[in-house]
Amino acid sequence: MTLEDKVYSLDERIESNLKEIYDNEIVPLKKIVEFVEQYKKFKLSGAVGLTELFKNKKEAEVKTEEVISTHGMPGFFAGDRDADTVMLMLNPGQDVALANNPMITFERIERGKKIGMGININSREDFISTYKEDSINYGKIDEDRADNFDLKQAAFLKHWEKCGVDFVGFLDDDYKKLVDDYKKLVDNYKNYKKLRTADKEEIDKKKKEIDKNKEEIDKKNKKAKRNVLMEKLSLDLIPYASRKFEGINSEQMHLLFPYLETLFHEIFRKERKYVIFCSGFYDNLFKKYNKWEKGKWIIEGVDNDDNIKFTNTVFDKKNGKERLASCTPITITCRKDKCIQQNAIIAHTFPNQSLPNAYERMEEYGRFCFDEWKKAFGKI
């Protein structure tokens, strides 16, 4: 087997990338860790006093000519590598210039220490092993940060039977009532404040009701976010932050084939219940991959566009045009052994940026995709 024919496992890719990072970035970084620690603790008292003045000031948009992060810490996976459910994204959603910032790498190394974890940089071996632990436990480490994208995953999977994720009441009837109550409280608060007769004590009382309600919602959201990150496996096609895939050069698509085969290698490492490719980009990638003579797998279901399933209702609008949500049930089969197969689905509409926190719409879309899964493959 030549080097070009080799299928790299997820572990091999992680170890290869991290060895490069350790030798070229972490070793020099260790020399300034003490300085950085002191740097982070120190704050100019005069600047602190002006914090309120600049509270709502928005940062200027960073401009960069770079198309992909060549310095930042790669993001290969998150969650349980033995999970029944696998969701596959394209790559880490981060600005390229930000990903290349050495302080972001430092923060990534340090972030787990708040729960007694973190990435150990004492040796290359420790660096690699603790990086994997950090990725497995990302849901715990990042638990306190609100993230709409992670909650979209929970909403999408809400009705996938026995998917292995405990949603802790997220999007249940009680949760939806809580959200409706919050919206009413906010509207009531805004309308009351406009009244000339508005009493400050009553305004404060209403504000406290809103804060209490919001706190309950946030608590449920954080638990759902933690669980969806911990109890399934998330994989990225490439582990580097980059510009959007929409503008990718189709003639260079073959450069992604080895990364795709790494995903397949990880998927087939054990039996899975659900495999969900969360972007329509995979549809085009699979079509081109099927024509690659060196490909180890074949993806059935993508070469006939009639296999794409559309919703009956409008999902959103783009450029003034109404769009339907869609998905495609597929089967991944080993070329050498047709008995080795994995059913999967392409969720074309999943990464829709016009739905940043429309969880009920994503729940509806996830239910539609699961119904199409059952029609294609039967119940689990």
**Percent of the chain at pLDDT exceeding 90:** 47
Residues 138 and 135: their CA atoms lie apart, in Å, by: 5
Q: What is the pLDDT of residue 220?
A: 92
Residues 149 and 246: their CA atoms lie apart, in Å, by: 19
Q: What is the mean pLDDT of residues 45-55?
A: 40
Three-class SS of residue 284? helix
- Burial level of 150, CB count in 10 A (0-12/13-18/19+)? buried
Q: Which residues of 135-147 are buried (b: 16+ CB within 10 A; e: fewer)?
A: bbbbbebbbeeee
pLDDT tens readout for residues 62-105: 333 467 888 788 899 999 999 999 999 998 878 888 887 888 88
The number of angstroms, rounded, from the C-alpha of 178 to the middle of its chain's C-alpha atoms is 26
Residue 29 zone, left/alpha/beta (φ > 0; ψ -120 to 50; rest): alpha
Q: What is the pLDDT of residue 147?
A: 81
Three-class SS of residue 282? helix
For the ranges 305-309, 335-339, 351-355, the lowest mean pLDDT is seen at 351-355
Q: What is the pLDDT of residue 34?
A: 60
Q: What is the pLDDT confidence band of residue 35, given thresholds at 50, 70 and 90?
A: low
Six token digits for residue 365: 């879309």
Q: Is the pLDDT of residue 336 over 80?
A: yes
Q: What is the pLDDT of residue 207?
A: 84
**Percent of the chain at pLDDT exceeding 70:** 85
Q: What is the mean pLDDT of residues 263-288?
A: 96
CB contact at 8 A, 192 and 202: yes
Q: Domain map of the chain by residue range?
A: 3-75+95-145, 173-226, 230-377
pLDDT tens readout for residues 179-218: 888 888 888 878 877 776 667 777 788 888 888 988 999 9
pLDDT tens readout for residues 139-191: 999 888 878 889 999 999 999 999 999 999 999 999 999 888 888 888 887 88
Q: What is the pLDDT of residue 40?
A: 53
